[in-house]
Amino acid sequence: MDNGSCNGVIECTALVLAESCTELEGRLTLFGILDEIRPGTGGETSFVVYAKFEGCEHVTARERRARILVTDEEGEVIMESAEYSVWIEGAEEPVAIVAVFELPEEFESGERLLWVEAVLDEETLAQTAVPLHDRYNV
């Protein structure tokens, strides 16, 4: 690609929901990858969201603002992470953020669809839908 035709592209190359995570010696491990959310046996409904942002070779280093949003089917924000300051320079330095969420109790009953969005500089770069289900019936 001609350098004159690219102003630098940044993509969200991973958007993953998990039950929990841990970091050891600079390496992040996600536990229990989720494709749906169900309240735990104690009524808690917590999960983590991992988002990885990568740029092309033409991206110039500057501060950007990243966050994770959880919205309902109408697009209304239910929860949002803190805003993270991220620096992405070229294709060599991807940046990952991890946000922990605890759903409010009023979302622990009924079935609905939630949207999880990775936002960079107020632009949604990736989103995924995740069903929220009632507790398992035994």
What average pLDDT does the chain have? 86
pLDDT score recorded for residue 1: 42
Instruction: Give the bridge partners for 23, in sequence order.
Output: 28
Q: Which two tokens stand for residue 81?
A: 């992470």
* Per-residue pLDDT tens over the stretch 11-61: 999 999 999 999 998 889 999 999 998 876 666 688 999 999 999 988 888
pLDDT score recorded for residue 42: 62
Q: Which amino acid is at 61?
A: A
Counting residues of the chain whose pLDDT is more than 90, the rounded percentage is 54
57 within 8 A of 41, measured Cβ to Cβ: no
pLDDT score recorded for residue 106: 66
